Amino acid sequence: MKHWLLGWGLVWVTSLSAVASHIMGGNLSLVAGTRDGEFSLALHLIYNDNGSVIENQVTVSIFKKSDNSRITDFILARDNTQSLPFINARCVGTSPVQVAMIRYTNTVNLPATTYNDPAGYYVAWEQCCRNGTVANIANARNAGLTFYLEIPAVSLKNNAPLFNTPEVKYACRGQLYELTLGATDADKDELRYSLVTPLAGFTDAGTPSPTRPRAGPYPRARWAAGFDSTRVAGSTSQIDSKTGKITFIPNQLGRFAVSVLCEEIRNNQKIGEVRRDFEVIVVDCISETLPPVLVEIKTATPSVTFGTLPSGHINSVQRCSNDSLTLKANDESPQWNYQWRRNGAAVAGGNQVTLSVKEEGTYLLIKKRIQSCNASDSTTATTIVTNKSGASAKITSARRLPLCEGDSTELSVAAGATATFEWEFDNAPLKNRSAVLSGVKFPGLYRVQVSDATTKCSAKDSLLVKVVMPPTATAMVVGNANFCSDDSTKLTTTKQSYYDYVWYVNDTPTTRGFGAEYFPSQSGRYYVMVKDTTTGCTSRSATLNVVYRKSPIVTFDSIPPLCGTGIQAVTLNASPKGGTFTGRGVISGRFVSQNLPSLAAIL
For 434-452, write each residue's pLDDT tens digit.
Answer: 999 999 999 999 999 998 8
pLDDT in tens, 195-214: 999 999 999 888 888 889 99
> Does residue 537 share a domain with residue 593?
no
> Would you say residue 1 lies in a domain?
no
Beta carbons within 8 Å of 565's beta carbon, 6+ residues apart: none
> Would you say residue 6 lies in a domain?
no
Average pLDDT, the chain: 88
Q: Would you say 499 and 531 are in contact if contact means Cβ atoms under 8 Å apart?
A: yes
Number of domains, the chain: 5
> Does residue 238 share a domain with residue 140?
yes
Res 59: pLDDT: 94
Query: Which DSSP string corresponds to 381-395?
Result: EEEEEEE-------E
pLDDT in tens, 71-110: 999 999 999 899 998 888 878 877 678 899 999 999 999 9
List the CATH number of the domain containing 325.
Answer: 2.60.40.10
**CA-wise closest residue to 144 among 209, 61, 197, 195:** 209
Q: Do the bridges between strand 490-493 and strand 517-518 make them parallel or antiparallel, or are there none, so unpaired?
A: antiparallel
- Exposure of 572 by Cβ count < 10 A (0-12 exposed, 13-18 middle, 19+ buried)? middle
Query: Which DSSP string corresponds to 300-334?
Result: E-TT-EEEE-TTS-EEEEEE-TT--EEEEES---T
Measured distance CA(99)–CA(95) in Å, rounded = 12
Res 506: pLDDT: 95
> Does residue 568 share a domain with residue 436?
no
> Residue 439: left if φ>0, alpha if ψ -120 to 50, beta else—which one?
left
Res 19: pLDDT: 45
Res 2: pLDDT: 32
Q: Would you say 546 and 477 are in contact if contact means Cβ atoms under 8 Å apart?
A: yes
Res 601: pLDDT: 47
**CA-wise closest residue to 403 among 443, 430, 438:** 443
DSSP class of residue 511? S
Report, as an integer, the average pLDDT of 466-479: 92
Q: With residue 602 as reference, give the H or E element that holds it.
A: helix 599-602
For 89, phi then psi, to 5°, come to -60, -30
Measured distance CA(273)–CA(477) in Å, rounded = 89
Q: Does 414 have pLDDT greater than 70? A: yes
> Does residue 229 share a domain with residue 163?
yes
The beta-strand segments (E) located in 142-253 are 144-151, 162-163, 171-172, 177-180, 183-184, 190-196, 238-239, 245-248
> What angle is formed at CA 161 by the lines to CA 155 and CA 163, rounded to 5 degrees?
155
> Would you say residue 522 lies in a domain?
yes
> Does residue 265 share a domain with residue 342?
no
SS3 of residue 90 by DSSP:
helix
Q: How many CB atoms lie within 10 A of CB 42?
A: 20
Q: How many CB atoms lie within 10 A of CB 297?
A: 16
pLDDT band at 13 (very low <50, low <70, confident <90, very high): very low
Q: Does 421 have pLDDT greater than 50? A: yes
**CA-wise closest residue to 405 among 468, 473, 465, 464:** 468
Choose the final residue of a domain: 355, 387, 419.
387
Res 594: pLDDT: 67
Beta bridge partners of 83: 100
How many angstroms separate the first and last alpha carbons of the chain? 151
> Does residue 81 share a domain with residue 35?
yes
**CA-wise closest residue to 183 among 206, 159, 208:** 159
Q: Which residue has the higher pLDDT, 548 or 136?
A: 136
> Would you say residue 441 lies in a domain?
yes
Measured distance CA(214)–CA(61) in Å, rounded = 8
The amino acid at residue 84 is L
Side-by-side strand order, sheet with 428-429:
428-429, 419-425, 444-452, 458-465
Measured distance CA(8)–CA(542) in Å, rounded = 93
> Would you say residue 338 lies in a domain?
yes
Q: Would you say 41 and 159 are in contact if contact means Cβ atoms under 8 Å apart?
A: no
Res 588: pLDDT: 78
Beta carbons within 8 Å of 337's beta carbon, 6+ residues apart: 351, 367, 368, 369, 370, 372
> Does residue 157 share a domain with residue 116?
yes
Res 366: pLDDT: 94
Gyration radius of the chain over CA positions: 50
Measured distance CA(137)–CA(255) in Å, rounded = 10
> Would you say residue 89 lies in a domain?
yes
**CA-wise closest residue to 74 among 53, 60, 94:** 60
- Sign of the dihedral defined by the CA atoms of residues 375, 376, 377, 382, in that order: positive
Q: How many CB atoms lie within 10 A of CB 541?
A: 21
Length of the chain: 603
> Does residue 353 share a domain with residue 486?
no
Measured distance CA(152)–CA(159) in Å, rounded = 10
> Does residue 156 share a domain with residue 91?
yes
Q: Does 559 have pLDDT greater than 80? A: no
DSSP class of residue 395? E
Q: How many CA atoms lie within 13 A of 39 on its CB side?
A: 21
Q: Do the bridges between strand 269-283 and strand 171-172 make them parallel or antiparallel, or are there none, so unpaired?
A: parallel
Q: Do the bridges between strand 245-248 and strand 238-239 make them parallel or antiparallel, or are there none, so unpaired?
A: antiparallel
pLDDT in tens, 26-81: 999 999 999 999 999 999 998 887 666 678 899 999 999 999 999 999 999 999 89
pLDDT in tens, 271-325: 999 999 999 999 988 877 788 999 999 999 988 999 999 999 999 999 988 889 9
Beta bridge partners of 256: 280
> Would you say residue 325 lies in a domain?
yes
> Does residue 65 share a domain with residue 137?
yes
> Does residue 278 share a domain with residue 130?
yes
Q: Which residue has the higher pLDDT, 601 or 307?
A: 307
Res 199: pLDDT: 96
pLDDT in tens, 352-376: 999 999 999 999 999 988 777 765 6
DSSP class of residue 381? E
Q: Would you say 147 and 10 are in contact if contact means Cβ atoms under 8 Å apart?
A: yes
**CA-wise closest residue to 339 among 327, 326, 351:** 351
Range of the domain at 277: 23-283
> Would you say residue 217 lies in a domain?
yes
Res 17: pLDDT: 40
> Does residue 453 share a domain with residue 504?
no
For the chain, the helix, strand and coil percentages under 3-state DSSP, each to the nearest 5: 0, 45, 50
> Residue 205: left if φ>0, alpha if ψ -120 to 50, beta else—which one?
alpha
Choose the final residue of a domain: 283, 312, 333.
283
Measured distance CA(4)–CA(50) in Å, rounded = 8
DSSP class of residue 411? E
Q: How far is CA 254 from the centre of its chain?
A: 46
pLDDT band at 508 (very low <50, low <70, confident <90, very high): very high
The lowest-confidence range among 234-248, 522-536, 586-600 is: 586-600
SS3 of residue 197 by DSSP:
coil
Res 564: pLDDT: 64
